[in-house]
Structure 1
Amino acid sequence: MRNIQNTDAALIHKLHSDPIVNAFVGRDNSSTLKNAKDYIVKMQNLIDRNECIYWVISLNGSDNLVGSVCLWNFDFENEIVEIGYEMLHDFQGKGIMSEAIKKVIEYAFEEIKAKLITAFPSADNNNSVSILKKLNFEFEDKKYNNTHANIKNLVTYTLRNSVS
């Protein structure tokens, strides 16, 4: 995992053009290379303002983006942070995202000192829900810091820091 770079624009565009990924994250399919470049600037600005931590996922031996994972929607008062993630369709189902999320969970609990990580997948996204369950996230009937409006069949999963 690494920081997002301006050179990621073409692969961000590819990721944001994937209709399956977009359906699950509530994004329209109108990505362009300019939109991808604007997205990178937006992420870099959020990072600079400490409103987001964003990692590009790449395979060992390659710098090419295959997905991304982020922590955002920080609720410092209640020590809650949201995790978000997406992966190019060709790389799904290979354990890559699980490995990346494990590292981000560790970071959230050890570095940020979060007590709770929230995730808001579509219940229709079986891969995402399976990853969360595998990593001990639990289904909850509470909205927490959810700001998503465009995701169909949105559900809440949480993971509590067991050492805090």
Structure 2
Amino acid sequence: MFVHKIDEELSLKLIDMRDAEKVFALTNNSRDYLKEWLPWLEKTKKIEDTHEYIKASLKDFAEDKSMNTVILYKNEIVGIAGFNQLDWSNKLAYIGYWLDKDFQGKGIMTRVSKALTDYAFNELNMNKVEIRAASENKKSRSVPERLDFVEEGHIRQAEYLYDHYVDLVVYGILAEEWKK
């Protein structure tokens, strides 16, 4: 089983079925908060929906398409982070994340994203890592900005959120830039 220790407080662990109840409870706890920026909340209304997400995540991991982990903060699951997509032909990893509203402001997502970026370059031998965030989602955008990712552009009306479209900002960093 994949477990990646980040520091004394934080670890990433490959999501598995034993995490379903906690992940679903976190989703419910932060539903209104997360719904502002994430399009999948309407598809996650019962624990069986979380089971299906975990099954799909494990299948994609086995096929080297993605890697979704639970974020463990002081041994408690507080969110999800990982590689939404691994593009092996272009050596590009796309980081995605969400965090329970009660654990915001502790630097968790910046440390997690730094660890995932390190992992992408040092273990997966990727050439580039991307993070995309809604243009108005200042908290999510601050993560790649703190890590010196380059703002590469805006994709207009790239994501539909329930009743409206949002623009996405694309951030990227190259392996040669990260190693400096």
Question: When the two structures are superposed, what TM-score results if normalisation uses the length of structure 1?
Answer: 0.86
Offset at residue 74 of structure 1 (A):
2.2
- The count of corresponding residues between Structure 1 and Structure 2 is 158
1:22 alignment counterpart: 35
- What's the secondary structure of 1:121's corresponding residue? strand
Return the letter of the residue paired with 1:3: L
Change in 2 beyond 3 A, CA 1:127/1:2: same
Q: Deviations over 1:70-122 (max 9, x none)?
A: 11322222211111111111111111111111111110001111111111111
Structure 2 gaps, min length 5: 1-11
- What's the secondary structure of 1:90's corresponding residue? helix
1:153 alignment counterpart: 167
Q: Which has the higher contact order (CA 8 A, sep 6+)?
A: 1
2:21 alignment counterpart: 10
Measured on the aligned residues, the alpha-carbon RMSD in Å equals: 2.0
2:125 alignment counterpart: 113
**Contact 1:27/1:150 (8 A) holds in 2:** no
Return the letter of the residue paired with 1:27: W
Q: Deviations over 1:123-163 (max 9, x none)?
A: 121111111100111111276xxxx6325221111111124
Offset at residue 36 of structure 1 (A):
0.9
Distance in 1, matches of 2:26 and 2:132, equals 19
Q: Once the two structures are aligned, what percentage of the paired residues are identical? A: 23
Counting strand residues as a fraction of each chain, which structure ranks higher?
Answer: 2
- What's the secondary structure of 2:124's corresponding residue? coil
**Contact 2:26/2:79 (8 A) holds in 1:** yes
1:132 alignment counterpart: 144
Structure 1 gaps, min length 5: none
Question: When the two structures are superposed, what TM-score results if normalisation uses the length of structure 2?
Answer: 0.79
